Amino acid sequence: MTAWSIRTGWIAAAVAGAGLLTVAAAPARERDAAVQPVVVELFTAQGCAGCPEANRALEAVASEPGVIALTYGVDYWDYLGWSDTFARPEFAARQQAYRQAMRLRNVSTPQVVVDGRRHLSGARPPELQAAIEAGAADRQWPPEIEFRETGDRVGVGSGRPPRGGAEVMAVVYQPGLQTVEVKQGDNRGQAVRHVNVVRQVRRLGDWTGRPVLFALPADSASEDNVVVLVQSKLDRRILSAARRAEPRAD
């Protein structure tokens, strides 16, 4: 099992209780040296005429070092005659949570959210790149995330929690490209490409600033990757992120 995470060699400390285990965190200067990825979330729909262009913009940055790109299908455009094959109610709820946290009047599709702090209506490459660069410079004192070598648990280290607290989320997605032939609606006849399509979002629990260990979702497919996010409850800022990648056959 490989892991794209902050590797500082935590030492497991002590006690298991209620499914959680406290762990001792690495020195702060080691955490500071780690590179924090920027999380780019695209909310898109197969029936939306402007969405294929945004999908391509996300695809262009998905392979950049230090970027975690995620695609969420939403169902707002299903009324035009094509039901999005990747949409789930919890994805639309996540987009609505960003709208409320950012005090936006409406949700837009396509919409990009960078690190839970910046939103873009659409995904024009220059604006998207600028938002990614700003996100890379933003985070200070991120809590450490480390996947256990067994692949079934993840530890979150110590740090300063935001006002209102934070929660730990697991985002399960299928890495790489998927193409859907759209047969109805505004994109009828098009082969719409998607990169890193999210399958599920699971809340693992609260993070209070103390080190803690969580079990990862056990029902994901063997080819899926998992991104773990430490995210503010109130303003939805992503404080820290790491990706567990499944080994892929050549």
**Residue-wise pLDDT tens digits, 233-250:** 999 999 999 998 765 444
For residue 60, give Cα distances in angstroms to 6, 171, 193, 199, 241.
25, 21, 12, 21, 20
Output the CA angle 157-95-166, nearest 5 degrees.
Answer: 20
Task: Report the chain's mean pLDDT, rounded to a whole number.
Answer: 85
Query: Which CATH number does the domain housing residue 158 bear?
Result: 3.40.30.10
User: Which has the higher per-residue pLDDT, 42 or 34?
Assistant: 42
- What is the C-alpha to C-alpha distance for residues 44 and 64, in angstroms, rounded to an integer? 20
Q: Please indicate, yes or no, if residue 6 is contained in any of the structural domains.
A: no
Tell me the β-bridge partners of 214: 154
Listed residue (111, 234, 90, 97) closest to 171, CA to CA: 90
Q: Please indicate, yes or no, if residue 10 is contained in any of the structural domains.
A: no
pLDDT tens digit string along 146-185? 999 888 899 999 999 999 999 999 999 999 999 999 999 8
Cis before 126 (ω within 30):
no
- The pair phi, psi for residue 115, each rounded to 5°, is 55, 25
Q: Please indicate, yes or no, if residue 54 is contained in any of the structural domains.
A: yes
pLDDT at 222: 67
For residue 30, give Cα distances in angstroms to 128, 142, 155, 228.
30, 12, 16, 20
pLDDT at 149: 86
Q: Please indicate, yes or no, if residue 87 is contained in any of the structural domains.
A: yes
Q: Is the pLDDT of residue 96 over 90?
A: yes
Q: Please indicate, yes or no, if residue 74 is contained in any of the structural domains.
A: yes
Query: What's this model's pTM, rounded to 2 decimal places?
Result: 0.84
pLDDT at 221: 62
Domains of the chain: total:
1
pLDDT tens digit string along 36-87? 899 999 999 999 999 999 999 999 999 999 999 999 999 989 998 999 999 9
pLDDT at 29: 32
**Domain, as residue range, for 160:** 15-23+36-244
pLDDT at 245: 73
Listed residue (230, 226, 228, 229) closest to 209, CA to CA: 230
- Predicted confidence band of residue 218 (pLDDT cuts 50, 70, 90): confident
Q: Please indicate, yes or no, if residue 28 is contained in any of the structural domains.
A: no
pLDDT at 17: 36
pLDDT at 247: 52
Using the 8-state DSSP alphabet, how is residue 53 labeled? H
HSE, side-chain direction, 13 A CA sphere, residue 71: 32
pLDDT at 203: 97
pLDDT at 54: 96
Q: What is the dihedral of CA 198, 203, 208, 210, to 10 degrees?
A: -80
- What is the C-alpha to C-alpha distance for residues 207 and 165, in angstroms, rounded to an integer? 7
pLDDT at 8: 37
Q: Please indicate, yes or no, if residue 65 is contained in any of the structural domains.
A: yes
Q: Please indicate, yes or no, if residue 98 is contained in any of the structural domains.
A: yes
pLDDT tens digit string along 106-137? 888 999 999 999 999 888 889 999 999 999 88
- What is the C-alpha to C-alpha distance for residues 150 and 148, in angstroms, rounded to an integer? 5
Q: Is the pLDDT of residue 101 over 90?
A: yes
